[in-house]
Amino acid sequence: MKRQFLTGHEVAVLACIDAGATHMFGYPITPGTEILTNWIHHTQKNKALEYLQTEDEIAAGFAVCGAVMAGEKTFTATAGPGTVLMQDALSMADGMRLPFVCIVAQRGGPSSGTVIYSQQEVNLAIHGGNGEGMRLVYSPSTVQELYDMTRKTFNGAWKYRFPSVVLTDGFLLKTRQDVVLNTDYPNVEAEPLVHEKEYKHIRNIYTVEEELYEVLQEHKRDFDAMAKEVADYEAYKTEDAEVVIVAHGIVGAATKAAVDMLRESGKKVGLFRPKTLSPFPAEALNNLAEHCPSLCIVESSMGQLRDLVKQALTVSAEIHGLYKPAVGIDVEEIVSFIQENYQ
């Protein structure tokens, strides 16, 4: 392990390589294009790595499905409209329980929108397909977490066989920070899901409703069991908090700094930051809300994180929020919002 000064794009690619990925299928789209180009750069030096720039994100998604069925650790990266196009393949991966790994560099929407800052792809990442949203979704807030969570995403995908997403954004991908690459981190090994000499049909179409119902019940049992092992969060200065801010990803990083500033001014404010948006750390949030029922959601969206929080809560809580879809949220804005709205 050694400390390096790298961009998020560079770290994302190195994390995929360290996770044992050998193939990337993708299509250029800002702000995730550098993941594809950096991967291609590594293939020129390491002939064990392969890539294919497909004609669109639909083709890239289905190429990932085929490769993982053959036992290859592979991934794709996309953003915005590309994430929309990717849902067809992701939904098939939902039904077939394929270890599909996707890095999503969120961009502002709807449609092509803007290209750097957004948290508007939460719903797409979790619920984008015509299913129940049983996917593993990590939300890193630092370049170090981007590396660590990408490694965990590959392991989770191959261990539990659910499609898995690293949900980041252009701001974090273009940020340069100190990071330690833990190459000693153990990998879950890949194996073919369909063997060359042994026919194996992985179904994703059912003609009898009751049969699909039983399959979904099995998926749900597996997902709930996985949730107990992988659901993760950070609770920062929440022990005596009178207000808890809930934020994720890059906004969570700004919120953490805002909490420190608010504490210096005498306000008892804490941060609850879900690291996994799916499965959501519901038990931890409810335990926190029992003694601090005043929650403030801060997100670069009109309420996609808020909706996850409301779905997770089983105790009464008062929820307010700072919602700025597709706009960067800085530390001073968060401080001002709390000072103005929580006397």
Beta bridge partners of 141: none
The CATH number linked to 337 is 3.40.50.920
Instruction: Clarify whether residues 242 and 222 are in a common domain.
Output: no
Instruction: Clarify whether residues 221 and 244 are in a common domain.
Output: no
**Residue 200 — very low, low, confident or very high, per pLDDT cuts 50/70/90?**
confident
Structural domain count, the chain = 2
DSSP 8-state assignment for residue 179? E
Q: List, for residues 264-295, the tens digit of each pLDDT value.
A: 999 999 999 999 999 999 999 999 999 999 99
**Averaged pLDDT for residues 66-87:** 97
In the chain, the percentage of residues whose pLDDT exceeds 70 is: 99
Instruction: Clarify whether residues 61 and 75 are in a common domain.
Output: yes
Last residue of a domain, one of 206, 230, 254: 230
Instruction: Clarify whether residues 152 and 165 are in a common domain.
Output: yes
Instruction: Clarify whether residues 209 and 240 are in a common domain.
Output: no
The CATH number linked to 155 is 3.40.50.970
**Averaged pLDDT for residues 23-34:** 97
Instruction: Clarify whether residues 249 and 174 are in a common domain.
Output: no
DSSP 8-state assignment for residue 240? T
Range of the domain at 291: 233-341
Grouping H, G, I as helix, E, B as strand and the rest as coil, residue 148 is helix
Instruction: Clarify whether residues 311 and 184 are in a common domain.
Output: no
Instruction: Clarify whether residues 299 and 223 are in a common domain.
Output: no
Provide the residue type at 320 as one letter. H
CB distance 168 to 117 below 8 Å: no
Instruction: Clarify whether residues 133 and 272 are in a common domain.
Output: no
Query: Does an H or E element contain 75, and which?
Result: strand 74-78
C-alpha span between 266 and 49 (Å, rounded): 53
Instruction: Clarify whether residues 320 and 225 are in a common domain.
Output: no
Last residue of a domain, one of 175, 199, 230: 230
Q: List, for residues 31-62, the tens digit of each pLDDT value.
A: 999 999 999 999 999 999 999 999 999 999 99
DSSP 8-state assignment for residue 159? H
Q: List, for residues 224-241, the tens digit of each pLDDT value.
A: 999 999 999 999 999 999
Query: Does an H or E element contain 57, and which?
Result: helix 57-69
Cα dihedral: 236, 277, 20, 253 (round 10): -40
Per-residue pLDDT at 228:
97
C-alpha span between 87 and 89 (Å, rounded): 5
Instruction: Clarify whether residues 42 and 76 are in a common domain.
Output: yes
Burial of 328 (0-12, 13-18, 19+ CB in 10 A): middle
Give the pairing of strands 3-7 and 176-180: antiparallel
Query: Does an H or E element contain 62, and which?
Result: helix 57-69
197 or 203, which is more confident? 203
**Averaged pLDDT for residues 240-268:** 97
Provide the residue type at 25 as one letter. F
What order of strands is seen across the sheet that includes strand 101-106? 50-53, 23-26, 74-78, 101-106, 164-169, 136-138, 276-278
Query: Does an H or E element contain 176, and which?
Result: strand 176-180
Q: What is the value of pTM for the model shown?
A: 0.97
Last residue of a domain, one of 195, 230, 265: 230
Instruction: Clarify whether residues 125 and 23 are in a common domain.
Output: yes
